[in-house]
Every structure is written in structure tokens, then in C-alpha cells.
Amino acid sequence: MSDLTGELLDGRYEIGAILARGGMATVYSALDTRLDRLVAVKVMHPHLANDDDFVERFIREAKAAASLSHPNVVAVHDQGWNQGGPPAVFLVMEYVEGPTLRDVIRDRSPLSLNETLVIAEAILSALGAAHRAGIVHRDVKPENVIIANDGRIKVADFGLARALSSMATITADAGTLLGTVAYLSPEQVQRGIADARSDIYAVGIILFEMLVGSQPFVGENPIQVAYRHVHEKVPAPSSLIAGIPASIDALVAHATAADPDQRPKNANDFLREVESAHSGLDPQDPIHQEKEQPVIMAKKVERSPVRPVARKASGKPNRKARRTLFILAALILGALFWYLSLGPGAGVSVPSLVGLSSQDAQASVTKVGLKMVIASQTFSEDIPANRVLSSNPAGGGRISDGGTVTVELSKGPERYIVPSLASLSVAEATSLLTPLHMTMDSQNQVFSDTIPRGYIISTKPIAGAKVTRDTQIIATVSKGIAPVPLASYVGKSSDQALTELTAAGLKPVSKMAYSDTVAAGIVISQSPTGGGNVGKGTVVKLVVSQGPRTIVVPNVVGQTAAEASKAIEDAGFTFIINKLSTRGNGRVVGQTPAAGTRARAGSMVILDVY
């Protein structure tokens, strides 16, 4: 990648000297011309900047890293693309002046116990903040730990390791990955998966390296190193450095267990262990204090250390010493042969199964001559369903040939389906939710035209949603039909009553009735009466006047006065006889009102009789 020194990135960051180069990026010092402060700018190499998938992951992880605010975390200030100059995807970080932990280990390791534990506690404090935020570093190594000149300890590159690990493969010529491979956990090497426990493994390796001065596993290429992480156990630091307490050996062993289930769950848990071990050390112990050089029991070499041989003054081993060495070697080889062929070491090494599907796990144990039994299934937020959560013995353990490995499978995330609670009472819904590990909250209450008072209208989350254990279901409960004020329409026109009642959401029903006192079309009475509130949709009965009742006047002309009088009364009228002559035949010759007309009941009909 070309040197960007002197460039102005994004019109803001004036690039200074190169601070570091890596397989993924180059880090420069820079001046933030907008805020007039010194920053560190990490510029991705061009072949990565042209990879759309990588850039997308880079941006996403940079945003996550920027959310971390912790005194032991190198803060992320900005991220962007260079505009108007050399193409570059970059990240702007807090500038921390001082050496990396790699520099410190190279210049003056092994470190004292006190300094080792202080640095480890700072690293774990930073990782603990990340793990609480759901962020896994994935690339914890001394190069990413800065020891500031003022004594502060900072962890860098949060969020960037995910993008790197998702695209990197371990190959014999991948020299740029050698530093990273030295801290990869077995599950990262075998299955490419990582969680908080993978960060713990890396911290355990760093602990070993600070205490001893070299990495536990070295090799000529990354594949050899990765192989040793999977198949070998990290040695106890006390086996190489005199005076290291058993409590410190236990810390390294716990953090670097081959089976991630056997490690601390996250950085916060391991931090408490480290602090407890630190507080239990004797501050007067020389190995606990700062010093130039601790007593080294074995040289730091890439191959297994050998025992020292007695020499003559000339520097050559004497004959007796060579014979003693030969006998000792024969005894060791014989003991090793017995141990591996007939003794306890003759067992089969259990492969690491965590994260494998049940079928793949079965194939793995069958391949090495073992059997597998599924002992139980447990919910897990991290391991998908039907994949191995843990095994007994754990990965790396040994059992006799043909032995049985019991495994615990994941049931996947613990989720429950929200049932349909609509039209149930709150009590009924609560009883239904309890065995499903959910609780009820009926804080929302609204009016409903269709759901009775006290019954559920809807829920949040909705029916059919998958939720975690102890999720609170918020129910919207009916308060019944919304009340509507009802006016009195007695004495008002039926048209007005029908219009206003309908607009108010009520249902008017009217019937007609005769009235001698109320004009036609006017409301005589209503039920319910006005002046109060009624439920929306209530039926309001109206009695509307159709005026006085009228009757058809019968035709009585030609009838005798007696016959006509009876017919008029039977029809519902009164009558009066108007006698026109005393010499007539006594029959009706005329009537008022005329026959066939309508007159009010009880009114008078005048009969003209001749």
C-alpha cells in the first residue's frame, strides 16, 4: 500500500507518520484539523477496501466498537471514506502514546507477577465491557494492547477482528496471520466459531507469555501452531519459571481449557478470578515484585527444553555423564511406551465436539473408535439447536478405546409462542400464559363496540410471535362500549331526532301514534329518556305523532233517522238531526260532512231528515 503521509483524508485528517503496519491496515498518526487534536488513523489496505462484503462488515463492527466507552478501551471517534484523494476506507481512533504489550514482552519479559496481573486485569476489564455489550473481540493479542506512557493500559481493535476472522484462512504461507494464530482458541481453528470464551482463551495465552516470556506453542508455520492449540495442553507456567504460585497456574489452565465449556463464561467472570488470585499473593515474595530477570528453569526455545549435561572443564560431556544420560533416556522412553500403549495414556483423546451437529459429533467420535450418547438437551442462546453444548469427557480428555462420550445437545434459543388471547378475560389469559413462562400486564384499556368490558382486544407481542422466557405480554383490554350523551327529543321533529341520534352512533327506532294534542311529525315520547349517557349503538325508541285519528264518514242518505243515527255512532261519530219538515217520511236526505270524507273520531255529523 502506498504511503499516505501528508495526505488530508476526508478534508479533515492530516496524515502524519506511520505508527504500525499489519496484514489488514496501516496505522498513522494524524491531526484532526477540525478539533485540533492528535488521533490515530487506521487505513484499510486497498484489496480489502475493494471488497464490498468486508467494507460492510467493517462499518457495522466499527459502529459497534464506537459504542464502547471504557477507560481501558481505545476509543473510536470516526469512520469514513476518503473523498477527493487516494481511495481509502479508514477508522479514526484515540491516539495513545506508548509501546504495545508485544514491545514490553520482547524487551523485558518475563514480567513480574504483579505487573502481569495488573495488565491482565486491565485487559479483562476492557473485554468485560465489550462482552456486556454483546461484542466479542476475536483478535486479542499483545499487539492490540497498548501500555501508555502515563501508565494507562488500553485494548484496541474492537470490532475489527470479526471482519478479519471471517475472511482469513490459515495457510502455510499466511505469514501475516502467525501472530493471530498464536492466540486462536481450538474452536476457532476447528470450526471458525468464536464467543466470549474465545477471548478468554487468548487472555490465558497472553498471561502465559507475560509470565514465561514466550508463547506456549510455536512452529514453522501457522498450521503447526494451530494444530498444537487443538491437540496439546498449555503447560503450567511454573514448569518453566521458578516460584510461580499454583493459583496462577490454575488461572492459565482455566482460561486455556480446550473445551470452551470448561473456561470462564466471559471476561467479567475471569476478571474476578484474577483479582482474587492477585489479592491472595504475598507482596513480599520476590517473584511478585518488579525485577530485572526472574529465575528461569528452562530456556525459551521453540522446541522442548532438554536437561543440562555435566561437562568437563574442556566443555565436552564426560563418558560417565553420557552413559547416565543414555540410561535415563532409555528409562524415559520405556516409561513413555508403557504409558501410551498399556498404561493410562493408552486411552483415546476425545475430539472437541462443542458446536458440532449431532450427526457430525457422532461421526467424529466414531472415527476415533468411540461411542456417543445424548444425555440431555438444554436451551442455549449461543449454540443452534441440535448442536453439541458440552461433552463428558470434554474435548481433549482421554477415555479407553471404545468408550462412551455423553453429550448435551442444544435445543436452540428458549422461545415460546404467544397464544391468541383475544376475547378472553384477563384471568383466563393469565392462567393460559403461566405454563408458557409468560406474564400478563393489562395496562392498556380502550372502549370497544364488539368486545365486552374486561375482555382482551389484542396483545403485544401479537399472537404467534416467538418470545423468550418471562416475557411480559401487554394486553389491550376492553372498557366496554363507549358512552354517548343522550338528549331528549320529546317535542322536537322526528327528522331532527333521527339525524342527530344516528350521527351520535345510536340506533333510533320510531313508531307512529295518533295524538289529539301533538302535531303530526313531532316526537311524543322516547326510551331511554334523555339527560344521561348510554352505550354507543344503543337502540333509542321514539313515538312520533301522526296527528289526531280520522275516520271515514259512512253514507247514511236514504236511511231512516233511527238507522242513520245508529250507523253514525257505530262509526265513532256523534250526530245531530236537522228535521227539515214535520210532514216528511222521516228519512235522511243529506249529511255533513259528506259521505266518504274523513273526520276526527267523535266529531259531529249533521243529518238532514225530511
pLDDT, tens only, 234-248 = 999 999 999 999 999
Specify the higher pLDDT residue, 73 or 352. Answer: 73
Q: Please tell me the CATH code under which domain 416-478 is placed.
A: 3.30.10.20
- The domain limits of the chain are 8-94, 101-288, 345-406, 416-478, 483-545, 550-609
pLDDT of residue 159: 54
**If pLDDT is split at 50, 70 and 90, which confidence band does 63 have?**
confident
pLDDT of residue 58: 77
Protein fold of 550-609: Trypsin Inhibitor V; Chain A (3.30.10)
Active-site positions read 139
Question: At 460, is the secondary structure helix, strand, or coil?
Answer: strand
Average pLDDT value for residue range 569-583: 91
Average pLDDT value for residue range 84-102: 87
CA distance 468 to 439: 11
* Residue 39 burial by Cβ neighbours in a 10 Å radius (0-12, 13-18, 19+): buried
With 70 as the cut, is the pLDDT of residue 609 above it?
yes
Give the helix/strand (H/E) hosting 352.
none
Q: What is the pLDDT of residues 490-542, one digit of tens each?
A: 999 999 999 999 999 899 999 999 998 999 999 999 999 988 999 888 999 99
What whole-number percentage of the chain has pLDDT above 90?
54
pLDDT of residue 284: 64
Q: What is the pLDDT of residues 10-33, one digit of tens each?
A: 889 999 999 888 777 889 999 999
The three cell numbers locating residue 71? 477507560
pLDDT of residue 314: 39
CA distance 358 to 375: 12
**If pLDDT is split at 50, 70 and 90, which confidence band does 344 have?**
low
Phi/psi region, residue 412 (left: phi>0; alpha: psi -120 to 50; beta: rest), is left
The three state secondary structure string of 17-81 is EEEEECCCEEEEEEEECCCCEEEEEEEECHHHHCCHHHHHHHHHHHHHHHCCCCCCECCEEEEEE
Average pLDDT value for residue range 63-73: 86
Q: What is the pLDDT of residues 175-212, one digit of tens each?
A: 334 447 899 999 888 877 888 999 999 999 999 999 99
Closest CA to 142 of 112, 115, 120, 166: 120
With 50 as the cut, is the pLDDT of residue 161 above it?
no
Tell me the CA distances in angstroms from 465 to 187, 419, 468, 477, one per residue in order. Answer: 33, 8, 10, 19
Q: What is the pLDDT of residues 101-159, one digit of tens each?
A: 999 999 998 999 999 999 999 999 999 999 998 888 888 999 999 999 988 999 998 75
Protein fold of 483-545: Trypsin Inhibitor V; Chain A (3.30.10)
With 60 as the cut, is the pLDDT of residue 170 above it?
no
Average pLDDT value for residue range 421-450: 89
**If pLDDT is split at 50, 70 and 90, which confidence band does 280 have?**
confident
Domains 8-94 and 550-609 share a fold: no
pLDDT of residue 421: 92
**If pLDDT is split at 50, 70 and 90, which confidence band does 331 have?**
low
What whole-number percentage of the chain has pLDDT above 70?
85
Q: Please tell me the CATH code under which domain 8-94 is placed.
A: 3.30.200.20
pLDDT of residue 439: 92
Alpha-helix runs per DSSP H in 184-318: 186-191, 196-212, 222-231, 246-255, 267-279
With 60 as the cut, is the pLDDT of residue 299 above it?
no
**If pLDDT is split at 50, 70 and 90, which confidence band does 347 have?**
confident
Average pLDDT value for residue range 386-414: 88
Q: Does domain 345-406 have CATH number 3.30.420.40?
A: no
Q: What is the largest CA-CA distance in the chain?
A: 188
Q: Mean pLDDT of all residues in the chain? A: 84
pLDDT of residue 216: 95
Question: Is the peptide bond preceding residue 393 cis, with omega within 30 degrees of 0?
Answer: yes
pLDDT of residue 134: 85
CB 546 within 8 A of CB 512: yes
With 90 as the cut, is the pLDDT of residue 268 above it?
yes
The identity of residue 55, as a single letter, is V
Q: Which CATH architecture has domain 101-288?
A: Orthogonal Bundle (1.10)
